[in-house]
Structure 1
Amino acid sequence: MQFHMISGGPKPVAPFSHAVETDGFVFVTGQMPDTPESPGVLPDGIEAQTHHVMANLKTVLAGLGLGLEHVVMARIYLTRFKQDYEAMNATYRSYFPADRLPARTCVGVTGLAYDALIEVDLVARRPD
């Protein structure tokens, strides 16, 4: 098992690795909608926060020589589920080809770090 911290990656908000890898699977910790340059500073609105989360996930994956095309599962957490679900879906969908959407779970939660509107974690698989 390998525990990865990505140089230049998002600043952890708690004690965790950016990703843990075992048997070809890569488990990417949920990412927040801040940027490595401005930890804790969030953009306004679900669309902008979704873009920032996806950028952070891409940074972690790239640091491991992977990309979104290697994602097999995504979990999305929303604090304003009813209000933000549709707009988040439209933004999220733009990151994947229509015929290559990862398996996914999306849940409403009562709170996230930094009072974020969204957090997303991923499971990726290294190519054989």
Structure 2
Amino acid sequence: MTEFHNISDAPTHVAPFSHAVESDGWVILTGQMPTKPGGATTDPLDDGVEAQTRQVMLNLETVLKGVGLDLSHVVQCRCFLTEFERDYAVFNETYKSFFPADRLPARTTVGVTALAVGALVEIDCIARRPE
């Protein structure tokens, strides 16, 4: 059975999607933007990739919490940066601060030309429920 989750504490949708979709213990989270919960999608974003990465990670935590999980359940992340060469090092430092050094998820990071709401960073992930 597939479940479609929308989390009331998560940021407002910037497009038509569910915050997470779950099937057979796998939980796939839609890419989170650096928008703040309770805000409008037109609210200004924090300046800089460090602040935006921090907000994206907090948003991922909110969605995970909404389905009874946390970052320790994440097995894979896909990360998107609009200014790859400029922001990659700072992004990495901020990103890795959310995980224990010995429990980093598999990851792909891609440079892109643009993201929704003018964001510098977006991250989606896959988590697995404990058996």
Q: What TM-score does the superposition give when structure 2 sets the normalisation length?
A: 0.96
Unaligned residue ranges in structure 1 (runs of 5+): none
Identity over aligned residues, as a percent?
61
Q: Which residue pairs with 1:20 in the alignment?
A: 21
RMSD: 0.7
Query: What are the superposed Cα offsets for residues 12-57 of structure 1, whole Å, 9 maximum, x if unpaired?
Result: 1000000000010000000000101223321000000000000000
- Separation of aligned partners in 2, 1:45 and 1:39: 19
Instruction: Confirm or deny that 1:120 pairs with 2:127.
Output: no
Q: Which residue pairs with 1:48 in the alignment?
A: 51
1:42-121 equivalences under 5 Å are 42-121=45-124
Query: What are the superposed Cα offsets for residues 71-92 of structure 1, whole Å, 9 maximum, x if unpaired?
Result: 0000000000000000000000
Question: In structure 2, what residue type is equivalent to 1:69?
Answer: S
**3-state SS of 1:15 partner:** coil
Question: In structure 2, what residue type is equivalent to 1:10?
Answer: P
Unaligned residue ranges in structure 2 (runs of 5+): none
**3-state SS of 1:34 partner:** coil
- Separation of aligned partners in 1, 2:63 and 2:8: 9
Q: What TM-score does the superposition give when structure 1 sets the normalisation length?
A: 0.98
Question: In structure 1, what residue type is equivalent to 2:48?
Answer: G
Question: In structure 1, what residue type is equivalent to 2:112?
Answer: V
- Separation of aligned partners in 1, 2:67 and 2:52: 23
